[in-house]
Amino acid sequence: MLSFRIVALAFVLAFSSAAAFAEGDGHDLEQVLIESASTPAQHQALAQHFRAKAAEARADAKRHRSMADSYAGTKLVIAAAQRKHCNDLAVSLEAQAKLYDELAAGHEAEAKSAKQ
Of 9-13, 26-30, 93-97, give the range with the top mean pLDDT. 93-97
Q: Taking the C-alpha atoms of 75, 76, 78 and 82 in order, what is their torsion angle to the nearest 10 degrees?
A: -80
Q: How far apart are CA 54 and CA 73, in angstroms?
A: 31
Q: How confident is the model at residue 65 (pLDDT cuts 50, 70, 90)?
A: very high
pLDDT digits 0-9 by tens, 17-52: 444 444 555 558 888 888 888 899 999 999 999 999
